[in-house]
Structures are given as structure tokens and as C-alpha cells.
Amino acid sequence: MFSVHAGEYLAGSHIERQFRYVNLWMPAKDTGIDLLVSDRTNRHTVSLQVKFSKDFLVAHMQKQAPAFQQKLRACGWWTLNRAKVLRSQADYWVFVLQAFANTSVDFVVIPPQELARRLRRIHRDGHQSVWQVYLWVTKAEQCWETRDLAKGDKLLITSNKFSDRHRNFSKYLNAWTPVARLNRE
């Protein structure tokens, strides 16, 4: 029996609320595609692989710098199989960050090829079999991959002074344009 996980539910609910003129499909078995979105005529589609993380800002960062609690909205952690990212058939991967303290939900919507390119550059050994990914969303609407950053760099993120084009995922934050293109009467 197939069941929906929290990330799929949150992403699907968001799509249904925000995009009234699309159809949302869920596969009967695991194919590497969690959600399929089509236009009203079912002729054009976007396939999504959805990944969910609990909010580590509340759970594990209470004793960190107070700036983290004041300036961040959510912090997620994913363990990604490198080969699955590289072989992904999905058009986009959607990382769901449900912030518990801030009662918000953010989505990072990124093509898997771009995700792999960035992770190879960010991580010391870009060819490792598993990538540990930490995505942080700030209250200033920025999104950063923070794995292996020094505390000083993380504090720069909270003050909007950090700069690294490979770690900056902000252009993918809540970037539902691929679905919006399908949303026509």
C-alpha cells in the first residue's frame, strides 16, 4: 500500500491551493517521481521528487548563537544518495522546510542537474556516494547550503552579508514557476 509522506502532503497541498488550474497526480508505486503536475488538458507535465526535513532550528540549535534563532526561519538536513540525484528522472527536486517556531513552510524547487552541480562544488569530495545537505532559510527570504561552513560564515548568513554563488539557493526558494506555467484556464 502506498502512503503519502509529510513533504509530499505539504507540497501537494501548496500546489492545490496556489495553482487552481493544474491537475496533481501521485504514483501508485515508487518510481523516483513523487508528484506529477499537469495542465488542465493533461498534455504538459512537471515531475517532482519531494524531500522533507524536520526543522533543526528548534530541535538542535537552541544553544547556538542567539542570532540563529532571531534571523533564521528554518533549517533542514537531508542525506542524499549522489547516484539517485544524478540519475533522477524528475524535472525538479522539492525540498520542504516546515518551520515549527515560525509556523511557515518553504520549498526549494531545483532541477536535479543543478542540484548535483552545486553539491559537487560545495562538498570537499564532490564524488562521495552520500551528500549531507543543510539548507537554511532566513527571515530575509534567503536560502543557503551551510554544510561544513564555519560559525563565522553562518553568522554572516544571518546578517545577510555572506556571499558564495554555489551555496546561495535563494533563487530556488519558493520558485514554483514551472508549475505556474501549467496553471492556465
Q: What is the pLDDT of residues 45-96, one digit of tens each?
A: 999 999 999 888 876 666 666 768 789 999 999 999 999 999 999 999 999 9
Flag whether 122 is in a domain: yes
Flag whether 12 is in a domain: yes
> Is pLDDT at 18 greater than 80 in this prediction?
yes
Q: What's the pLDDT at 55? A: 85
Overall domain count for the chain: 1
Flag whether 185 is in a domain: no
Range of the domain at 60: 6-180
DSSP states of the chain as a string? -----HHHHHHHHHHHHH-TTEEEE--SS-SS--EEEEETTSSSEEEEEEEEE--HHHHH-TTS-HHHHHHEEEEEEEEEEHHHHHH---SEEEEEEEETTTTEEEEEEE-HHHHHHHHHHHSSSTT-SEEEEEEEEETTS-EEE-TT--HHHHHHHHTT----TTTB-GGGBT--HHHHTT---
Flag whether 145 is in a domain: yes
**By percentage, how much of the chain surpasses pLDDT 70?**
91
Flag whether 127 is in a domain: yes
Flag whether 1 is in a domain: no
Total-model pTM: 0.94
